[in-house]
Structure 1
Amino acid sequence: MTELDARLGALLEGRKAKGRFRSLKEYDTTSQSDLVDFSSNDYLSLTSSSALREAYLRRLSVSPSIFGSTGSRLLSGGSPSHASLERRFAEFFNSPSALLFNSGWDANVSFFATVPQSTDWVIYDELVHASVHSGLRSSRIPPERRLGFAHNDPEGLATVLRRILSSASTSETKSTVFLALESLYSMDGDMSPLPALLTVMDEFLPRGRQCVVLDEAHSTGVYGKHGRGVVHALGEEGAWSGAESRDKGKGRVDVRLMTFGKAVGCSGAVLLCSPAVRSFLINFARPLIFSTALPHSTLIALECVWDLLQGPEGDRRRKSLFDVSAYLHRLLADLLRTTPHSLLHLPPDPIVPFPHSSSPYLLADPASPILGLLTPTPHGLSAFLLERGFIVRPVVPPTVPPGGERVRICLRAGMKRSAIEGLVTALREWVELKTTEGSWRAKL
């Protein structure tokens, strides 16, 4: 063993002692397996869609380009297929332009590392994706101009904006204030109260100084008409039709990130933005400039997915997901009503995010396919559930703050009610076991 291996090994042992050690896991979740997957982000079950597989193979068989793209978009990797898909996304999501990335991580890092300038401010929800923070660490924004606010808290946002305005000099009146949010948060499984947060921004800043950036990684394909996302369902996209329409309350979200590795069942991402932002990223975003472009096989898959999402099968899968989510929420509510809070509980009840929504594609309190069950023993609970045939993964610091340890349940369209009931039965067994253990120890 080299000295390097010895040093790294000691650091890993320290992580193990803190209960934070990670390792790669492999599970057989094919139809021949007895395991039920409650861990993946395949919310619409598209990765196992036979209709999608057949459509993909048909289109692949007649495509002149099947394998890699051969280079970055700025060298040999750009093709009419890339440009065509970007035009399709710009039209579908009602955006003036679109730019493909190899992943949502690359898109967030690219944007936040390059677009905000040194005199700007960036405000972010404290639970926003890690990729936003990685981008900011590479940016020109000084640390003191990157400010977080309490998760989903409009008053917390207002407090930060007051702080910015009270400290800003007259020479900064042209600086931009960026606001980084997600539509659906992946750890607590709650949605951003987006209309309330946008209203707070309008109370403190003219629209011209705002740049609201919404990460729709976990809502792409799931919410909105044909899966266009939360922003589209609320009518807050389309800021680019002119300043007049923007001043009337529409189009307040400037940049949207739609990713393809979750409900869409593929890989890659698209950033929906103004032409100026798109051109700026092409010139300065290193993950875009120096990465091989998405391969043609992925472009073909994405075309096939969006054909499906825009048709009746997409609607059926979204409805199935919401039905499954509502059923598990009801069963868990019954279980947790009699479970000690210290043993197992959900995060605090979220604010109802869209109380006055008139969209037929977005309920006032939409069901979430993500549930974070907080517990002081996430590894033990995860192992217990695995023994009973359910894949439910633990989430521990630094992914969540200390005290926020949990297991995370992710739901998928088409899940059988018997599987949902089986999971809740296993959770009830675990609660009874731990309650009995606690009573026995108390008598010692």
Structure 2
Amino acid sequence: MTELDTRLSKLLQGRKEKNRYRSLKEYDTSSSSALVDFSSNDYLSLTSSTPLRESFLARLASTPSIFGSTGSRLLSGCTSSHSSLEKRFEEFFNSPSALLFNSGWDANVSFFATVPQPNDWVIYDELVHASVHSGLRSSRVPVERRIPFNHNDPESIEIVLRGITKEGSSNDKSTVFFAMESLYSMDGDFSPLPSLLDVIERYIPRERQCVVLDEAHSTGVYGDNGRGIGYALGEEGGFDIGDRRKRGKGRIDVRLMTFGKAVGCSGAVLLCSPTVRSFLINFARPLIFSTALPHSTIISLECVWDVLQSEEGDQRRQNLMSISTYIHTLLEQLLSRTPSDILHLPPDPIIPFATSPSSSLPTKPGSPILGLLTPSPHALSTFLLEKGFIVRPVVPPTVPPGGERVRICLRAGMTKEVIDGLVVALGDWVDIRLAAKNEVRAKL
């Protein structure tokens, strides 16, 4: 073993001792397997859609180029297929422009590493995605001008804004960037966007704001045809572009839509102004030095968006919301008899938007993500796996100490019988833990 391996092994051992060690695991989730996957972000069950598969294969058969894009977007990788998909996203999401990225990570890192300038401020939700932090660490914004606010807390962001406006002068030309998500992936809670935007509007002039909304977990699921929560709120856009604007001007300037979750593919699109798009093309290293998305991915995205804009897409969203309501009802019954130090849910999320009367979704849609907090996430995950359910543990540093949990992710294709089985298994776990606690008390 080399000296490097020895040093790294010691660091890995520290992770193991803290129950934070990670490893890659493979699970058989084929139709012949007894395992049910509750860890997948495939919220709409599109990866197993037979009609989508058939549509994709048919389009592949009729398309000359289906393999790699052969280069970065600045070299040979900017094809008419890539540009056409970006135009489709501009129209679909009601955005002045769109720029494709290979992943949501690349898009966030690209934006926050390059767009905010040294005299600007970046105000961010304390639980915003790690990619935002990685981008900021590469940016020229000083550490003291990057300020978190308490998760989903309008009062906290107001305190931050009071502080920075007190420091500023009347001729301050700096931009204040705001980084937040529409749906957070650990608790499955929604951002109270209207309240946060109202606070921002009171303290920062509109021309100095840049609100950046990460919609990774809401793309395809919420809003008309899956256009996202920013769209559902009527806050998308933020730019005047003449007769192309179909709705009123919103307060969200930049939206990130990713394709690796409910969309069932890979890649991402950043919805922004034409100027921001051009700036990223010139300065964003992950974009400049990465091979563009392959043609097969572009074709798959076109096929998926055909589904998202169809009755099938509406039905899948409706099924997902129905399953979400059902499991919450069952868990309420179970947790009402369960001590919180064994298992509990975070506080009920505030739903900051309602669907339109014409939407197929409930008036107040639920979340496909549930974080079940427990001091024994690894043991619970192992127990559930033995019962046939893949439910992964989430531990620090992914979540703060004390926030250990197992995370349940729902999919549109799940049946109520499968949900029943999971909740029964959770009930068995609770009973075992209660019996152990009672045994300890009896010995005292």
Query: Smaller-chain TM-score range?
Result: over 0.9
Distance 1:54 1:45 in 2: 15
Give 2:191's aligned residue.
192
Contact 1:322–1:367 (8 Å) recurs in 2: yes
> What secondary structure sits across from 1:135 in the alignment?
helix
Contact 2:114–2:280 (8 Å) recurs in 1: yes
> What secondary structure sits across from 1:239 in the alignment?
coil
Distance 1:141 1:362, change over 3 A: farther
**How large is the Cα RMSD of the aligned pairs?**
1.9
Contact 2:234–2:248 (8 Å) recurs in 1: no
Equivalent positions of 1:341-360 (< 5 A) are: 341-354=340-353, 360=359
Q: Does 1:265 align with 2:284?
A: no
Amino acid at match of 1:137: R
Distance 1:308 1:242 in 2: 28
Give 1:94's aligned residue.
94
Equivalent positions of 1:40-119 (< 5 A) are: 40-119=40-119
Distance 1:226 1:51 in 2: 18
Amino acid at match of 1:433: I
Distance 2:360 2:158 in 1: 29
Q: Does 1:202 align with 2:201?
A: yes
Distance 1:363 1:147, change over 3 A: farther
Contact 2:223–2:355 (8 Å) recurs in 1: no
Amino acid at match of 2:2: T
Give 2:402's aligned residue.
403
Gaps of 5+ in 1: none
Residue 154 of structure 1 and its aligned partner are, at CA, apart by: 0.7
Amino acid at match of 1:80: S
Residue 169 of structure 1 and its aligned partner are, at CA, apart by: 3.6
> What secondary structure sits across from 2:239 in the alignment?
helix
Gaps of 5+ in 2: none
Residue 442 of structure 1 and its aligned partner are, at CA, apart by: 2.0
Contact 2:355–2:364 (8 Å) recurs in 1: no
> What secondary structure sits across from 2:213 in the alignment?
strand
Distance 2:8 2:163 in 1: 42
> What secondary structure sits across from 1:90 in the alignment?
helix
Tell me the TM-score normalised to structure 1 length. Answer: 0.96
Give 2:159's aligned residue.
159
Which aligned segments of 4 or more residues in structure 1 are displaced greater than 6 angstroms? 355-359
Distance 2:32 2:8 in 1: 39
Amino acid at match of 2:73: R
> What secondary structure sits across from 1:373 in the alignment?
strand
Distance 2:352 2:343 in 1: 25
Distance 1:276 1:241 in 2: 13
Equivalent positions of 1:313-328 (< 5 A) are: 313-328=312-327
Amino acid at match of 1:31: S
Give 2:276's aligned residue.
277
> What secondary structure sits across from 2:342 in the alignment?
coil
Distance 2:136 2:85 in 1: 29
Distance 1:291 1:226, change over 3 A: same
Q: Does 1:392 align with 2:387?
A: no
Q: Does 1:220 align with 2:219?
A: yes
Instruction: Spell out, residue by residue over 1:300-324, the C-alpha distance to the aligned partner (whole angstroms, 9 max, x if none).
Output: 0000000111011101100000000
Amino acid at match of 1:206: P
Distance 1:346 1:63 in 2: 48
Amino acid at match of 1:440: E
Tell me the TM-score normalised to structure 2 length. Answer: 0.96
When structure 1 is superposed on structure 2, of 381-390 and 352-361 the one drifting more is 352-361
Identity among equivalent pairs (%): 72
